[in-house]
Amino acid sequence: MKVLAFDIWGDFGHFRKFYTTTSPLTFSFPPPPTIAGILGAIYGAEKGTNEYLRMFLHDKCKITLKIVTPVKKVRMGVNLINTKGGYWTLYSNKYHESRTQIRTEFLKEPYFRIYFAHENKNIFEKLAGLLKEHKNIYTVSLGLSELLADFKYVGEYDSEAKSNNGLVEVQTPITESKLIQNGLEIESGKKYFKEKIPIKMNQERIVEKYDNVIFEPEGKTIKAKVRSYYRLENGENITFF
């Protein structure tokens, strides 16, 4: 199977956690539906019908990522239009402020490497061609439209599907469902985080599957026993979401 790799980065990113309300928190990396949106923006998938979810978030498409630079988070106040009471006014008065400030968590200087494979050769080749030429059909961002992103083509690799019960060094986050019970080896000098993220989302933007994902926030490898993984020709071992 051919695997396409490209890097994406920006000044800030925000991938809102589904369980936060008044103070939005961010995932440490873009979950699969967001990666599908990034792919759809570059490819030019129809936005009005959420075509990108149908095209890039199903069994014929495989996506994952690698954390390239350590995860850093900051919190800043974001000014939003105040629509409490069902209306907005340009000027503040003693009954109504024109804006409201929300404390929001952002990723600072996020940098990821996205891995992508697709059974449809035409989709794969069109996306690869756009990445090589540094072209995109729609604006690429990191979670919010204001958080613009840049990207660059890295390469295409032949991969080999593997499945064994031995320990393997994995470059990508590992979903709990792919991890063999008690198969995680804790190594000195590494950190281990776990987040629950959306894995599958339909075109009505309803999440159909969540999973816990284990990752090393500084981008170091994770040594673990996994049910299946792919070895790239450059020697990297990756697991798809």
Based on the structure, what is the number of domains in the chain?
A: 1
pLDDT of residue 58: 82
The residue with tokens 């630079």 is: 69
Q: How many CB atoms lie within 10 A of CB 178?
A: 20
What's the CATH code of the domain at 219? 3.30.70.2660
> Residue 108 pairs with which residues in a beta bridge?
12
Measured over all CA atoms, what is the biggest interatomic distance in the chain, rounded to whole angstroms? 67
Average pLDDT of the residues of the chain? 92
Higher pLDDT pick, 94 / 236: 236
Closest by CA to 45, choosing from 58, 34, 56, is: 56
C-alpha 36: how far from its chain's center?
Answer: 8
| pTM, entire model | 0.91
pLDDT of residue 89: 65
pLDDT at 23 over 60: yes
Give pLDDT tens digits for 176-203: 999 998 999 999 999 999 999 999 999 8
Q: Which amino acid is at 222?
A: I
The residue with tokens 């390469």 is: 155
Q: Which amino acid is at 22?
A: T
Angle at 116 between CA 110 and CA 118, to 5 degrees: 155
Predicted confidence band of residue 87 (pLDDT cuts 50, 70, 90)? low
85 with 96: CB under 8 angstroms? yes
Domain with 219 in it: 2-238
